[in-house]
């Protein structure tokens, strides 16, 4: 396929649509579809390979990876054929990126938590947090604010740069694969049996899909964190000092270190930096600026590649 240079701008246009169109009511759409598909696959694997969880988990991961890639690839190819080439592909890419992004929806939820905390209504803040956290959190205002900052920081990857990274490097098939695998992996971690061997290979796939996107994201966060009053050196140190953590958690810990709201455990005692509801706003600033800069950079590079190499 010959791609005109403007096809590379599809992620940026999708991000702009996400920024200006209020789609909070659509937010559960992808998670609901992915969870239903995952539950059906899980039922088939458990029924057909009862007593062989390792093999069932391997087949489950293979079906998940292959199936989502085929769907994404098939949508793109169909758009190319019936959309008269590049224009059809461009439109479908913009729509898919728009649906997979979630910067506005996630930042709006963070704002709801912050306003509730400022109004000294921790119960309502906890309810808003549940929509973006999905796991039980200590009901204290400090714990709610810290968990919200953590989720805003992770959202730089999961709500923007994960699908952007894979979409522009290996196509929408891999972008959709990464989004679905990440969603199912998160669902399995929140289940009653997070260590279920059936999800072992899916969790491994999620790790390797999120790792390169996380490294790209930390470069972007390093550039923009001063805009929120953070420290570049502390942010990078926070990311590099947690090699054993999951990629998204490393990003969140780096942002928390950069903003000075870390919570660490030393040999002698637990060290907790103070945190305020206003720190949620700082993390939202990072979410907006990092996602925009990352998407714009990847779109610009892709447009240049299509212009001078692939066009």
Q: Return all residues near 123 (Cβ < 8 A) that are at least 6 apart.
A: 139
**By three-state DSSP, how is residue 271 classified?**
strand
Q: Return all residues near 110 (Cβ < 8 A) that are at least 6 apart.
A: 132, 148, 151, 152, 280, 283, 284, 287
- Distance CA(92)–CA(73), nearest Å, equals 11
**pLDDT tens digits, the chain, 311 residues: what are they?**
577 889 889 999 999 998 888 666 666 666 677 777 777 777 777 777 777 777 888 888 888 888 889 988 888 888 877 767 788 889 889 988 988 888 888 888 888 889 988 888 888 888 878 777 656 566 788 888 888 898 899 989 988 999 999 999 998 889 989 988 888 888 777 665 656 777 788 889 999 999 999 999 999 999 999 999 989 999 999 899 888 888 999 999 999 999 988 765 444 445 566 788 888 999 999 999 999 999 999 999 999 988 887 55
pTM: 0.86
| CA–CA distances in Å: residue 243 to residues 65, 157, 190, 229, 246 | 26, 17, 23, 25, 8
For 307, list phi and psi in degrees, rounded to 5: -70, -45
228, β-bridge pairs: none
Contact 164, 137 (CB under 8 A): no
For 278, list phi and psi in degrees, rounded to 5: -65, -25
Q: What sections of the chain are H helices per DSSP?
A: 10-20, 29-48, 53-82, 86-100, 103-118, 122-133, 141-156, 162-170, 172-189, 200-224, 232-240, 247-259, 278-305
Please choose, from the candidates 160, 175, 144, 187, the residue with its C-alpha nearest in 3D space to the C-alpha of residue 276: 144
């Amino acid at each position: 396929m010959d791609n005109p240079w403007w096809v590379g701008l599809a992620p940026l246009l999708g991000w702009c649509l996400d920024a200006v169109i209020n789609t909070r009511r659509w937010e559960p759409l992808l998670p609901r579809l992915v969870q239903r598909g995952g539950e059906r696959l899980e039922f088939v694997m458990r029924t057909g390979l009862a007593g062989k969880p390792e093999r069932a988990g391997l087949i489950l991961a293979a079906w998940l990876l292959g199936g989502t890639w085929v769907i994404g690839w098939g949508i793109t190819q169909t758009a190319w054929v019936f959309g008269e080439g590049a224009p059809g592909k461009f439109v479908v890419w913009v729509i898919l990126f728009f649906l997979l992004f979630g910067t506005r929806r996630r930042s709006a939820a963070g704002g709801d938590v912050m306003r509730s905390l400022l109004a000294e209504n921790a119960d309502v803040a906890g309810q808003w947090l549940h929509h973006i956290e999905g796991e039980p959190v200590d009901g204290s205002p400090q714990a709610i604010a810290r968990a919200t900052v953590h989720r805003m920081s992770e959202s730089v990857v999961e709500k923007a740069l994960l699908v952007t990274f894979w979409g522009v490097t290996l196509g929408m098939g891999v972008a959709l694969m990464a989004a679905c695998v990440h969603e199912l992996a998160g669902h399995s971690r929140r289940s009653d049996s997070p260590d279920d061997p059936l999800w072992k290979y899916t969790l491994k796939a999620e790790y390797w899909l999120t790792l390169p996107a996380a490294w790209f994201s930390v470069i972007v966060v390093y550039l923009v964190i001063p805009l929120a009053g953070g420290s570049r050196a502390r942010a990078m140190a926070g990311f590099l000092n947690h090699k054993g953590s999951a990629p998204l958690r490393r990003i969140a810990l780096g942002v928390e270190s950069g903003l000075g709201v870390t919570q660490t455990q030393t040999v002698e005692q637990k060290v907790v930096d103070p945190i305020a509801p206003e720190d949620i706003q700082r993390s939202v600033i990072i979410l907006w600026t990092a996602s925009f800069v990352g998407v714009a950079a990847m779109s610009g590079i892709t447009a240049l590649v299509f212009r001078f190499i692939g066009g």
